[in-house]
Amino acid sequence: MRDAFVRALLREMAQDPRVVLITGDLGFGVLRPVKEQYPDRLINAGIAEQSMVGLAAGLAMTGRKVVVYSIGNFPTLRPLEQIRNDCAYHGLDVKIVCVGGGFVYGSLGMSHHATEDMAILRAIPEITCFTPGDPAETEAAVPVMFATPGTCYLRLGRGNEPYAHEEKIIDWTFPQSVRLREGKDIALLSAGGILVELKRAAEQLAEMGVSAEVVSFPCLKPMDREAILEIAARHRDIITVEEHNIVGGFGSAVCEVIAESGAGSRVHRLGLEDCFTTVVGDQAYLRHVYGMDAEAIVKKTMEIIGKR
């Protein structure tokens, strides 16, 4: 997803000389093409994320389109006041890019586990939140992000993630959800890079005779409410999966839509159960430990079906 973002970013920089990228002293390998092609539009702000976002706000006030790029919690939680007060409040064209949402940097511990960012950023007014599920959705979302006025948040994985979509280039209309698989027995919904686990779970469930629908939400805010209501009209049970705290994140957003509409579907949220992570390990291991991998999705699905 990180590499897909850089490819899309380079296309935007080629089309618009106002685009500027600020990095927090990292990503020099993946950002090398930017440095080589647009050296005067790449700024290393150092390990000073609050100042980095303040700098971005100042540049945006002069007419630039500014991308702030860092890993995990560092472009979001650390400079949260600057994002809220300097960027979003003034409607500035600043794009906050988090590389390493969820457990990407799992071996570095809870300080690097980005598991509250979606809840926090979507709660700030005037911020559009993009949560692509794989590299194909990332490349589709980036040009939309640049075309969206004001402050935006883009949550990415890292590099070398598998494609959940069969095609590496997809058409996407903002802010619509994307259905990867039809199904009649249960609906599996996600936002972000956890999408591949839903696809694996659906394939395993199919072998067990269970038809699972898989839907990705590349945009968390604004959310595709119409799709959620349409899914709720067809399914008694919906499972939401997120590499994030279940409080305030994607599952909560789905619950809000269904509760306000009066739809009768029951939502089952899989994610981090409102706790700090005390285990370290790679991303796949932590997804398993905290119950949000394909195995956990299959288990939850069979529990639901068994109670019917």
pLDDT in tens, 164-200: 999 899 999 999 999 999 999 999 999 999 999 999 9
- Residue 118: phi and psi, rounded to 5, are -65, -45
**Same domain (yes/no): 182, 150:** no
Share of the chain above pLDDT 70, in %: 100
In what side-by-side order are the strands of the sheet with 237-245? 178-181, 212-216, 186-190, 237-245, 266-272
Q: Is residue 8 in some structural domain?
A: yes
Q: Span 57-66, mean pLDDT?
A: 98
Domain boundary among 156, 188, 220: 156
Question: CA 45, CA 280: separation in Å to the nearest integer?
Answer: 29
Q: Is residue 246 in some structural domain?
A: yes
pLDDT of 308 reads: 79
pLDDT of 247 reads: 98
Q: Is the pTM of this model over 0.85?
A: yes
What domain range includes position 236? Answer: 178-307
Domain at 100, CATH number: 3.40.50.970
DSSP 126-148: TEEEE--SSHHHHHHHHHHHHHS
**Same domain (yes/no): 132, 187:** no
The whole-chain average pLDDT of the chain stands at 97
**Same domain (yes/no): 198, 296:** yes
pLDDT of 159 reads: 77
Domain boundary among 156, 191, 226: 156
**Same domain (yes/no): 137, 219:** no
Q: Is residue 240 in some structural domain?
A: yes
Q: Is 260 helix (H, G, I), strand (E, B) or coil?
A: helix
Residue 56 has pLDDT above 80, yes or no: yes
Domain at 259, CATH number: 3.40.50.920
Chain position carrying tokens 């499972």: 239
**Same domain (yes/no): 183, 150:** no
Q: Is residue 287 in some structural domain?
A: yes
Q: Is 294 helix (H, G, I), strand (E, B) or coil?
A: helix
**Same domain (yes/no): 224, 283:** yes
**Same domain (yes/no): 92, 219:** no
Residue 122 has pLDDT above 90, yes or no: yes
Rg (CA), the chain: 19
Domain boundary among 126, 156, 186: 156
Question: CA 119, CA 133: separation in Å to the nearest integer?
Answer: 17
Q: Is residue 93 in some structural domain?
A: yes
pLDDT of 138 reads: 97
**Same domain (yes/no): 224, 110:** no
Q: Is residue 272 in some structural domain?
A: yes
Residue 160 has pLDDT above 90, yes or no: no
